Amino acid sequence: MGESFTKFVAGFRFESPWYLLLILLIIPLIILNLKRKKPTLRIPWIKPFVEAIGKPSRFNTSHLSSILYSFGLLLLIIALARPQFGIEQLIQRAEGIDMMLLMDLSGSMQALDISPDMSASRVRSGIEDGSIKQRIEYSKEEIIKFIGKRPNDRIGLVVFAPKSYLASPPTLDHAFLLSHINNVTSGIVGEYTNIAAPIASGVNSLKDAPSKRRVMVLFTDGSNNVNDRISPLQAAKLAKTFNITIYTVGIGSNTAFILQNTPIGVQFEPIYGQFDEKLMGDIASLTGGKYFRAADSEGLKTVLNEINKMEKTTVTSPKFVDYSEYGPKLAILAIILILLGLISENLIFPRIP
């Protein structure tokens, strides 16, 4: 979808090199002309006889017109051979893929994934200094980095909880896409998780996509707990019908907490891994994709790097050579030299027999 150009010198050539054989014919003529007997006296046009009796010139002006004629004739022959200078151009065409990111915004995405041996004070300090973030926050950060590595892909966004919403169709305007990702917040569209709806929405966005490769990446920390018109596996089969590959990413650890306001202050309420790994694996394998588990931000970073390597952009590099023609320029120069020879021989240094 994108193009870049690289140039380097391809070389010099003659389009009609056989004309250069004429040089072999005119060289003897040039030599004979230079060796022929010259007139004993040459006078300028304006000051007759002054130069003849004055200080002799170091340069024999009788040869000037012959030299001009010779060089002019040589340049004419070279011009007939059509000298060309070529620049080879390598055009790199990057054919990206069409991709939809399906992002879970259910209430559980507000959870904090922490290490089992982390103390409460360490958790509190981590929340204050920003080293411990909600699932939705570190997911947004890693997804934004993932998008930045794929400039040639048209990427769209579907957010979901009980229902799905198309936040952005597949687009190369990644600034537009990132503005939507930055603005999403967990819990704003409901608490429950509907896995089928975002897949169906993603299929609708990708089914007519022009690229040869179509991909969806489903990010969720929950299991399907909403009964829709179709099941998640039925939605996955629909994706397979349109040759859409689905990667599923289960976000979250088994030691996670949500901050809750209580009469005695803010408390940590534990939640447990709720996503259905079997369903996530079945959706992925049915469409030729893969299921990944991302327990925390580092795990999600590793997962997205792996997906980035698996889904490579196709690059083609056709070449062509752009030749510049120098024959006309040499022909003009040759005519100028011949004219100068005529002027030199008949006007500036006329011969007296």
Within 61-190, residue ranges assigned H as helices are 64-80, 120-129, 135-148, 174-183
pLDDT higher than 50, residue 59: no
Q: Which of 145, 144, 212 is nearest to 178 (CA)?
A: 144
How many helices (H) and strands (E) are present in the chain, helices listed first?
A: 11, 13
pLDDT 10s digits, 12-31: 788 888 888 888 877 777 77
Taking the alpha carbons at both ends of the chain, their separation in whole angstroms is 77
Q: Which tokens in the block code for residue 323?
A: 């030749």
Q: Which of 152, 256, 149, 244 is nearest to 198 (CA)?
A: 244
Q: Which of 73, 86, 87 is nearest to 330 (CA)?
A: 73
The topology under which CATH files domain 97-312 is Rossmann fold (3.40.50)
The C-alpha atoms of residue 78 and residue 75 are separated, in whole angstroms, by 5
Q: Which tokens in the block code for residue 340?
A: 């100068």
pLDDT band at 102 (very low <50, low <70, confident <90, very high): very high
pLDDT 10s digits, 108-160: 888 888 877 777 777 777 777 877 888 999 999 999 999 999 988 999 999 99
Average pLDDT for residues 282-306, to the nearest whole number?
93
pLDDT higher than 90, residue 297: no
| Distant-in-sequence contacts of 1-5, Cβ < 8 A, 24+ apart | 1/94, 1/95, 1/96, 1/152, 1/153, 1/154, 1/172, 1/211, 2/93, 2/94, 2/96, 2/151, 2/152, 3/91, 3/92, 3/93, 3/94, 4/91, 4/92, 4/94, 5/89, 5/90, 5/91, 5/92
Contact (CB, 8 A) for 194 and 224: yes
pTM for this predicted structure: 0.64
Q: Are strands 319-325 and 83-95 parallel, antiparallel or unpaired?
A: antiparallel
Contact (CB, 8 A) for 86 and 78: no
pLDDT 10s digits, 160-219: 999 999 999 999 999 999 999 999 888 777 778 999 999 999 999 999 988 889 999 999
The C-alpha atoms of residue 49 and residue 54 are separated, in whole angstroms, by 9
The C-alpha atoms of residue 224 and residue 230 are separated, in whole angstroms, by 12
pLDDT 10s digits, 239-289: 999 999 999 999 988 777 777 666 676 666 777 656 788 999 999 999 999
Is residue 347 classed exposed, middle or buried when 0-12, 13-18 and 19+ CB atoms within 10 A define those classes? Answer: exposed
pLDDT band at 46 (very low <50, low <70, confident <90, very high): very low
Please state, in angstroms and as integers, the Cα–Cα distance from residue 213 to each residue in 60, 154, 236, following that order. Answer: 78, 11, 16
pLDDT higher than 70, residue 69: yes
Cα 247 from chain centre: 25
Residue intervals of the chain classified under CATH 3.40.50.410 are 97-312
pLDDT of residue 307: 92
For the chain, the maximum distance between any two Cα atoms, rounded to a whole number of angstroms, is 128
| Torsion (CA) 201, 207, 209, 212 in degrees, nearest 10 | 130
